[in-house]
Amino acid sequence: MKGIILCGGLGTRLQPITYTIPKQLIPIANKPLLIYTIELLLKSGIEEIGIIVNEYSKTIFQKVLDKYFVNKIEYIVQKSPKGISHGLLFAEEFIGEDKFVMVLGDNSFNFELNVFVSDFNNSKENCRIMLKDVSDPERYGVAYIGDGKIIDLEEKPKLAFSNWAITGIYAFDSTIFKACKEILPSNRGEYEITDAIKWLLKNNYNVSYSILKGYWRDVGNPMEVIAENFYRLISIEENISGEIVDSKILGPIILDDNSVLFNSIVRGPVAIGDNTIIKNSYIGPYTSIGKGVNIEKSVIENSIVLNNSKILGVKTLIDSSIIGEDSIITMGSALKKQINL
């Protein structure tokens, strides 16, 4: 069985951060979001993995993922992204006649995927979708079910009459490619995966579902990125390889090689990458700080600071923020008592 991860979108909801880094590679607890998904697939026994990227991002994905995996990853370029079904068609040659699991690259999961994989692999189903009971179904594609069967699907309805959200994990056989070729663009101008699955339903293919009891988050906007970082940091184990000088540490932290804390207070959980210098500062909980960062005389918490950034003399709290790579932030006279970037 193979795995496909969709990463072809342009990440417009996370601009300007995504001008320099694809959203699937934004570090969460100092590890790219996509790594958690690949690890989930590998743990379930799926070792042949294809990642659908756009024509601008392939090199960036290769550079980052080569640092984490010796497994060969197939990079499949989606030209001019026009929705999930459109992107999936570019993977037809890679999949062939095999069954496969598809995961949306900007979704995060924490559960035992192997049960879902095994149930589908040992069945005669053409498609299986993963559903989650949510309080705000209008944000997602929605499934209507009755008597243990899928009745209908609707993509982001204005008013949903079901709380069953379609999560970002699907299992298909090769019939999905026929469905993707038969559908028309939606009102959004995209080829929706919900329309392709509805085509399977209408043409009497076997479409089933599983209920997700574990963790799921659609990490598609800045506040969801911050929330995901919070979630992943909760479970970190303390690992201090750097140097701590005249500083107070409360709670678990990760301090990587060649990094120094000097005369500062750090309240974990906090992750700090290598070659980072923090002086005379307060680093609050649920903060991830990348590599080569310099923070002096500043206050920050519940935030993500990307590589090679500088935060200098910002004594007003920086909270719930994402600081892009190579950013320089200094205190200005017009800043408010709390900063959200």
Provide the CATH topology of domain 238-339.
Answer: UDP N-Acetylglucosamine Acyltransferase; domain 1 (2.160.10)
Q: Say which residue, 313 or 79, is predicted with more confidence.
A: 313
Q: Is the pLDDT of residue 163 over 80?
A: yes
Over pLDDT 90: what percentage of the chain? 80
Tell me the whole-structure pTM to 2 decimals. 0.92
Contact 164, 133 (CB under 8 A): yes
Residue 41 main-chain phi, psi, to 5 deg? -65, -45
Residue 114: its pLDDT value, please? 93
Buried b (16+ CB within 10 A) or exposed e, 224-240: bbbbbbbbbbeebeeee
Residues of the chain with CATH 2.160.10.10: 238-339
Q: Is the pLDDT of residue 340 over 70?
A: no
Instruction: Assess if CATH 3.90.550.10 describes domain 2-232.
Output: yes
Give 48's pLDDT tier (boundaries 50, 70, 90). very high
Q: Say which residue, 12 or 132, is predicted with more confidence.
A: 132
Q: Is the pLDDT of residue 182 over 80?
A: yes
Residue 76 bridge partners (DSSP): 52
Residues of the chain with CATH 3.90.550.10: 2-232
CA 283 to mean position of chain CA atoms:
24
Query: What is Dmax (Cα atoms) for the chain?
Result: 69
CA distance 325 to 308: 6
- Least confidently predicted of 60-64, 78-82, 93-97: 78-82
Over pLDDT 70: what percentage of the chain? 97
Q: What is the pLDDT of residues 274-303, one digit of tens each?
A: 999 999 999 999 999 999 999 999 999 999
CA distance 15 to 13: 6
Residue 335: its pLDDT value, please? 45
